Amino acid sequence: MPATINCRVQPEDFALDHEYQALQRQDCGAVVLFCGLVREQFQPQDGPQDMPQSGDTLQALELEHYPGMTEQSIRAIAGQAVKRFDLRAITVIHRIGLLPLGAQIVLVGVAAPHRSDAFAACDMMMDYLKNQVPLWKKVHFSTSTAWADAKASDKQALNRWQTAEQNTAEN
Amino acid sequence: MPDITAAAIDTTPQIKVLFFAALREAIGHSELQLTLPAPLQISGVLALLSAQSSKVHQALAGREVLAALNQQLVGCDTWVHSGDELALFPPVTGG
């Protein structure tokens, strides 16, 4: 059964209730929504990371992207999720531009007949989003800015899906 | 004479190079047009860019760089052709 895929890259905010309603289907018993938010951070040069420091705290994140490729790669990820899991609808919204503390950054929403597919697809798409979509975060602290570093843990999280895919192909 | 034009393009490919995020800031440009002396792999384009500008050399040195050719993530051994759009950027941090 074909799934409805809705991918957007935009500066504007999104409304969870609206996106939730748009995902609902009569044949879907599960909707999983993941929302990523701009969280409090402290300038690491001041001392141990994520410890309250001398006031150089995160004010905003600035999201840069590669127009065209960003949308295309998000759509490709949604396409992979549809191939791998039993899904009926996917919504992915990624915001760009300057996003203040507490702002919504990303939404991944999945509608599926059963919850296991919805949870797994949402998890997998976030791992691919973190590793393969051309988006970069610049952290605006009170008195400085710094580009966010890619995390090894995000890469490892992606590997588990790729390893699972290889195992499936071999069996 | 389309054949002659095609041959000329093949020997000195013209490409567009894009830079993003920290790499864009370090280099000071988001885009440039580049004429290659001969067909090259992406690794060869990186070497050429480094040789042409000390700023680019410094920006690329010791930095992990990802490449997308015509908006697809590819390895640095991929061959570049005339008219291609090559994007160079640091590891992504979206999501």
For A89-137, what is each residue's pLDDT tens digit?
Answer: 999 999 999 999 999 999 999 999 999 999 999 999 999 999 999 999 9
Rounded to whole angstroms, the Cα distance separating A62 from A139 reads 6
Contact B94 A65 (CB under 8 A): yes
pLDDT confidence band for A43 (50 / 70 / 90)? confident
Task: Give the nearest partner residue to A135 out of B18, B64, B94, using CB atoms.
Answer: B94
Three-class secondary structure of residue A64 per DSSP: strand
Task: Give the nearest partner residue to A64 out of B21, B71, B91, using CB atoms.
Answer: B21
pLDDT tens readout for residues A60-94? 999 999 999 999 999 999 999 999 999 999 999 99
Which of A144, A147, A155 to mutate to test binding with chain B, by most B CBs within 10 Å of its CB?
A: A147
Rounded to whole angstroms, the Cα distance separating A128 from A136 reads 14
What Å distances lie between residue B69 and A69, A134, B66, B77, CA to CA?
10, 13, 10, 11
Contact B94 A129 (CB under 8 A): yes
Q: What residues of chain B lie within 8 A of the CB of A133, using their CB?
A: 92, 94-95
Instruction: Kindly indicate whether the ipTM for this predicted assembly is greater than 0.95, answering yes or no.
Output: no
What percent of chain A stands above pLDDT 70?
91
Instruction: Look at residue B1 in the predicted model and tell me its pLDDT.
Output: 46
Contact A147 B73 (CB under 8 A): no
Contact B94 A94 (CB under 8 A): yes
Selection from A55, A1, A56, A64 nearest residue A28 by Cα: A1
Instruction: Look at residue A170 in the predicted model and tell me its pLDDT.
Output: 60
Chain A: closest CA distance from residue B3 (Å): 32
